[in-house]
Amino acid sequence: MSKDPAAAAVPAKNGMKRRSRVMVLFTLPVVLLYSAFFMVPMLLGVYYSLTNWTGIAKTYKFIGLKNYSTVLQDKRFWNAIFFNFKYTICLVIGVLVLSLLIALALNQLGKSSTVFRTIYFIPAVLSLVTVGLIWNELFLRAFPPVGKALGIGFLSTSLLGNPATAMFGILIVNLWQGCATPTVLFVAGLQSVPKDLYEAATIDGANAWQKFKNITIPFLIPIVTMLVITTTKGGLTIFDYIQAMTAGGPAQATEAIGILIYRHAMSEGKFAQSIAESMLLFVIVAIVSFGTIKLTNNKQVGED
Amino acid sequence: MRLSVGGKVLKVLSYVFLVTGALIILFPFFVTIITSLKTQQQSAESFFALPTSFYLGNFESVFQKAGYLTYFTNSVIITVTSVVCIFLLNPMCAYAISRNMHKKYYKAVYFYVLCGIFVPFQVIMVPLVKYLGTLHLTSQFGLIIMHVTFASSQAIFLLTNYIRSVPPDLEEAASIDGCSTFGSYWRVVLPLIKPMTMTIMVLNALWVWNDFQMPLIILNKDASTWTLPLFQYNFKSQYTYDYNMAFASYLVAMVPVLIVYVCAQKYIVAGLTQGAVKT
């Protein structure tokens, strides 16, 4: 607490040293945990994917890239990838359209929308497994009698029991739960648009659609970008719903890549091969996320 | 404020749309509640009819036969411990990084930890099973470690950027007044970044509580360690014949988190949406 700067200089220098040592200590727990339980398993995975380990056998050999070529020739793998892409495209479009519509409607009502906001957000806090199991029962027991009574063909049996419709069953559940957070984001985005912009546009004689297209949409683009990325990642790595509802069936119609990896590793003894699959999944997710960021960034520039 | 005819039509349309949507959201809850209060026979007679009497036998089975309380306690212990560890470790690390970004070590740490954001859990799922097995960590303790580790990437990213917007003047003043580095972090910085730590805790509490993939690969062998989602999944096959009991179990699994939602709605909505915006 010396007031003389010269006398304070020496302890201050010591203090700086101690301070920087403490700062390094601050980072250590996270760095160590992350290295030991994220990086090491990841690198082990890369190594295992180059061997022929079954996961149970005591010995295994290094076989190079053979697992990868096996995977790339495996029909089941491509079937899973195709499912994931189909599903992800439907999911992204569904989430964006539905949550934007809900947000626009909520925004129309202004303050009287509080009750609706509370209700629409409930699904976001629930476990995917519980939600999946409840809808499973609904598809099985609640809808078929209604479908039969109304004579709607596709509803008279469980959506999940038919290979042609099973994906849409899962999609419905995912949308029921997955629109909650995007809706809140869109509402916040809509409220961030300055009111005087709309007023100025009205004076200039713009109609509702023109105002929406030229004022609202540009303000929402950053939110759309982010939602496309997060939803894409969610769609490509979908697991919980499928494991709880169809376990990949019927007839591998909903066997997503996550399910395939889990099955190959846990019940089919194709341990090393399943890791090769997961490494390919990583590459796909990375490329797709990167591509989406690039694409949507360009669009934003074009809009401006 | 006067509305034009078009405005009124739009408002009515919005109402109709939102009410329909709300009914779709609430429908599964309605079915869950009525079915859990009926006997199998009553449900067989009419699936959608309201229960005529309060039959609590299904809940009794869930608590006594299925042992709901064990799984509930497991979930609480795992969630609380994970969130406390996440709270203790991540803001500290993010603080050190954001105040020393100009130094090589901290910059390297930042990007090293950030890599994790791009890696989905399924990528390390399979090697992780063997790895944790070798370390004898296929237990609740191992699960907590994994949750804490996996929360880091996002937490460090959000916190580092948030702390950079907090001017360092206050901590400097505190250290001139004789506060230690840890003291000024704990007493000055931590209170200042409370909004972001709250966000991270809410996000992770919900994630850990509802997580299914990690418990599935780490805890599935030992039934006494199951979390609620894992218990529900494993009892799926046993419930096929007694779906009234199944719905009772879904209801009791949802009630705790719904109560928290009702009490802390503001924080939960803010947490989930802020977390999404800033990633």
Question: The CATH number of the domain where B104 resides is what?
Answer: 1.10.3720.10
Determine which of B78, B124, B221, B266 to mutate to test the interface with A (most A C-beta atoms within 10 Å).
B124
Clarify whether residues A21 and A118 are in a common domain: no
Contacts of A12 (CB under 8 A, 6+ apart): none
Residue keyed to tokens 């505190």: B174
Tokens matching residue B24:
């779709």
Clarify whether residues B72 and B107 are in a common domain: yes
pLDDT at position A173: 93
Mean pLDDT score, B110-125: 87
| CB atoms closer than 10 angstroms to residue A233 | 18
R_g (Cα) of chain A, nearest Å? 26
Clarify whether residues A44 and A97 are in a common domain: no
> Nearest C-alpha of chain B: how many angstroms from A120?
7
How many domains, chain B?
2
Clarify whether residues A84 and A153 are in a common domain: yes
Contact between residue A233 and residue A285 where contact means Cβ atoms under 8 Å apart: yes
Q: Report ipTM (2 d.p.).
A: 0.87
pLDDT at position A86: 93
Clarify whether residues B213 and B127 are in a common domain: yes
Closest CA in chain B for residue A143: B47
pLDDT, tens only, A115-173 = 888 899 999 899 999 999 889 888 888 777 777 777 776 667 777 878 888 889 899 99
Residue ranges making up the domain that contains B33? 5-55
Answer yes or no: is pLDDT of A301 > 50. Answer: no
C-alpha to C-alpha distances, A53 to A45, A268, B146, B253, B261, nearest whole angstrom: 11, 13, 24, 39, 46
Q: Which residues of B touch A262 (CB under 8 A)?
A: 122, 125
Mean pLDDT score, B11-37: 89
Clarify whether residues A31 and A99 are in a common domain: no
CB contact under 8 A, A184 and B260: no
Clarify whether residues A30 and A84 are in a common domain: no
**Environment class of residue A130 by beta-carbon count within 10 Å: exposed (0-12), middle (13-18) or buried (19+)?**
buried
Q: According to the per-residue pLDDT averaged within each range, which of A171-180, B59-68, B166-175 is highest? A: A171-180
Q: Is residue B44 part of a domain?
A: yes
pLDDT at position B24: 92
CB contact under 8 A, A124 and B272: yes
pLDDT at position A296: 65
Q: Is residue A6 part of a domain?
A: yes
How many domains, chain A?
2
Q: Is A101 on the interface with B (CB under 8 A)?
A: yes
Residue ranges making up the domain that contains A19? 1-48
Clarify whether residues A212 and A243 are in a common domain: yes
Q: Which residues of A touch B17 (CB under 8 A)?
A: 101-102, 105
Q: Is B61 on the interface with A (CB under 8 A)?
A: no
Q: Is residue A55 part of a domain?
A: no
pLDDT, tens only, B2-12 = 557 777 888 88
